[in-house]
């Protein structure tokens, strides 16, 4: 954070604490620091002439820190520095192709035309190391393991994705199934969970060909395909 004459900062990093204290050098200046609904840290100062808060400074680590940056049914990957950070999840395509081409992902993605995922020999493709989507459209069953979760999802036409509800307290048991748009998914490099997105047999075939070509696929037989998608 850059310094300025009106501010002072005190950073502490020792075995007892890690903290930073922010203050102002002029007691007549009113200033506040907030974190907004998009996760952005902002500093405001009070403009006494216009009687309103003025945005003085803001910080966000990366584009994918913005909530739902790439729109619904997409994945945000800030580590793809050479290309657009937004990609559609397996089985989806950009809702507004022109805007997507211009790197505006706010419209998100929609199911590919003609894709039926209801009792059509569908399976799932794994999207690895992600922050799983917003859980406002999920159903939770803490009695199921991941394989049982897969079976539950693929036997219900309204389920479009699933993941583990794992925590250290439940010994790896737990199931989240998604029944609406997949919102705010993003990739991490060395963390995150695996998300399994429901696709039909045609999409599975396309992914299988691609993964054979790159020699980097995982398939689960005999009930369902279960492919890896970075």
- 58-69 pLDDT, tens digit each: 776 788 888 899
* Cα dihedral 117/123/129/135 (nearest 10): 40
Tokens of 118: 């209801």
Parallel, antiparallel or unpaired: strands 18-24 and 7-13: antiparallel
Residues 97 and 69 in one domain: yes
Q: Are residues 168 and 211 in the same domain?
A: yes
CB burial readout 83-122, b (16+ within 10 A) else e: eebbbbbbbbebbbeeebeeeebbbbbbbeeebebeeeeb
Q: What is the pLDDT of residues 118-169, one digit of tens each?
A: 777 788 999 999 999 999 999 999 899 999 999 999 999 999 999 998 765 5
- The model's pTM is 0.70
Same domain for 73 and 37: no
Say if residue 11 is in the same domain as residue 49. yes
Give the chain's domain count.
2
For residue 1, being part of any structural domain is answered with no
* Tokens describing residue 184: 């705010």
Helix (H) or strand (E) holding 209: helix 201-214
Assess whether 53 and 97 both reside in one domain.
no
Supply the range of the domain harboring residue 54: 7-59
Number of helical (H) and strand (E) elements in the chain, helices listed first? 3, 16
Each residue's pLDDT tens digit, 35-85: 877 667 788 888 888 889 988 777 767 888 888 999 999 999 988 777 899
My answer on whether 43 and 148 are in the same domain is no
Question: What would the two tokens of residue 90 be?
Answer: 């397996």
Residue found under tokens 């990609």:
87
Residue 138 lies in a domain: yes
């Amino acid at each position: 954070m850059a310094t300025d004459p009106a501010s002072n900062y005190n950073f502490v990093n020792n075995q007892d604490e890690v903290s930073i204290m922010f203050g102002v050098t002029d007691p007549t200046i009113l200033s506040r620091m907030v974190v907004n609904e998009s996760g952005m840290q902002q500093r405001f100062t009070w403009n006494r002439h216009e009687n309103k808060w003025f945005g003085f400074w803001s910080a966000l680590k990366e584009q994918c820190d913005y909530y739902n940056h790439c729109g619904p049914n997409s994945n945000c990957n800030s580590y793809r520095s050479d290309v657009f950070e937004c990609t559609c999840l397996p089985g989806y395509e950009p809702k507004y192709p022109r805007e997507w081409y211009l790197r505006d992902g706010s419209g998100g993605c929609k199911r590919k035309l003609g894709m039926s995922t209801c009792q059509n020999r569908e399976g799932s493709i794994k999207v690895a190391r992600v922050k799983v989507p917003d859980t406002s459209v999920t159903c939770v069953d803490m009695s199921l393991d991941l394989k049982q979760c897969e079976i539950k999802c693929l036997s219900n036409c309204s389920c479009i994705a699933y993941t583990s509800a794992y925590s250290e307290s439940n010994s790896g048991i737990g199931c989240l199934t998604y029944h609406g748009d997949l919102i705010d998914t993003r990739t991490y490099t060395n963390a995150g969970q695996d998300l399994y997105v429901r696709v039909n047999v045609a999409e599975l075939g396309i992914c299988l060909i691609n993964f054979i070509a790159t020699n980097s696929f995982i398939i689960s037989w005999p009930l369902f395909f279960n492919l890896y998608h970075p």
